[in-house]
Amino acid sequence: MAKTALFLAACALLCDFGCAKPSAFQAPVSKFHDATTSVLTSTKTYYTALNKSERDHYIDQQLAARKDIRLSEIDETQLLTSEDIAARLKALDVLSQYSELLYQLANSTAPSTIQSKATALQKSVTGVSDEINKLGGPQDAQFKSATSAVFPIVGQVLQAFIDSKIEDALKNAIKTGTKPVNDLIGAIETDMIVAYERKRNFLSEQRSAAVQQYERDLQSKVEQGKLQGDAQLISTTEDDWEVFQTASPTVGLEAMKQADDALEKFVKTQKPSITDFSSFISAMEAFASAAQRVSTAVHQLEKTN
């Protein structure tokens, strides 16, 4: 995202000190890009699963209490409306495409392709902004505020790309892009903390329910096959619980912010030393590692649920 632009500008700064665009820089840019994509994908998975968790919880509760299940009540369980979720997923898409574009800029010698993509993305930004402005739910305020700050800046950077003012675009991204992008990540993080806590609540309840079922069947002296099934459910639930502890998307988002900070610090360093460059690479690798860990856990949970 904007931070990738910061990095590219860092490359440009280094070039000012007499070096050509070093191919060595492509590796950390690539890591940053891949990790960003991975974190955004994990975040999307959480957004998509958010309402499902609430629905399933309601159905389980009604079943346990032997109460009616009503569609109207299912609708009331949803934390975010379908419009809320759709708008957030589209905002994530914009960030992802923006990252992709900047990545291509670092790795491509075909600016005309980038220009046409920038034009298409600029249209998307306008459309998504309009959609987000229409949201009026209680959970939307922070998200709306964050996107209204970052999207105009993304738009300006894209316009500069379109006008072939690449350097201006990068400088603009450095000067104005850091805080708004981090604020948008922060707004997404808030949603993710709530989503993670609700999921933790439901999984924890399932752990207890699985053990209680086994206990009831044991007391009722059910056949061995049924008891084995109960024991298998306990085992599976415990596996899920264990994986879940490492599946917090906020870990990836926090790592993303730290990688952003490292990029900004690197850019602000007038004459980067080998040590500065090593620290910068380490930060990108730490981000990639956190993103990979979260992605693996989220993917594993997705398969089991």
Partner 1 sequence: MTQLDVIKMIGDVLTNIDVVTGSLQSNDPNLQKLMDLRVVLDDRQTQLSRQVFNDNTQTFQAASQQLATVNTNIQGSITAINNIASVIGNVSTFLDSVTTFMTSIGAFL
C-alpha–C-alpha distance, residues 154 and 152, integer Å: 5
**Contact predicate 186/150, CB 8 Å:** no
What part of residues 74-103 is at the interface with partner 1 (CB under 8 A)?
Answer: 79
- Applying CB under 8 A, among 37, 45, 142, 176 the residue interacting with partner 1 is 142
- Applying CB under 8 A, among 171, 179, 198, 257 the residue interacting with partner 1 is 198
C-alpha–C-alpha distance, residues 35 and 255, integer Å: 10
**Site for partner 1 contains 55 (CB under 8 A):** no
**Site for partner 1 contains 232 (CB under 8 A):** no
Cβ closer to partner 1: 98 or 196?
196
Give the chain's largest Cα–Cα span. 81
**Contact predicate 177/2, CB 8 Å:** yes
Angle at alpha carbon of residue 47, lines to 46 and 53, rounded to 5°: 70
- Applying CB under 8 A, among 108, 113, 126, 208 the residue interacting with partner 1 is 208
Cβ closer to partner 1: 80 or 95?
80
- Applying CB under 8 A, among 145, 204, 232, 278 the residue interacting with partner 1 is 204
What part of residues 173-192 is at the interface with partner 1 (CB under 8 A)?
Answer: 190
Stretch in the footprint of partner 1 (CB under 8 A) among 100-108, 214-222, 224-232, 270-278: 214-222
Half-sphere exposure of residue 215: CA atoms within 13 angstroms, side-chain side: 6
Stretch in the footprint of partner 1 (CB under 8 A) among 31-39, 98-106, 196-204, 261-269: 196-204
- In whole angstroms, the minimum distance from the beta carbon of 93 to partner 1 comes to 24
C-alpha–C-alpha distance, residues 228 and 216, integer Å: 13
- Applying CB under 8 A, among 21, 123, 141, 145 the residue interacting with partner 1 is 141
**Site for partner 1 contains 26 (CB under 8 A):** no
**Site for partner 1 contains 233 (CB under 8 A):** no
- In whole angstroms, the minimum distance from the beta carbon of 38 to partner 1 comes to 24
Contacts 24+ apart (CB under 8 A), 22-31: 25/106, 26/106, 26/107, 27/281, 28/280, 28/281, 28/284, 29/4, 29/103, 29/106, 29/107, 30/103, 30/107, 31/284, 31/285, 31/287, 31/288
CA distances 192 to 48, 82, 107, Å, are 11, 16, 32
List residues near partner 1 by CB under 8 A.
61, 79, 138-139, 141-142, 190, 193-194, 197-198, 200-201, 204-205, 207-208, 210-212, 215-216, 219
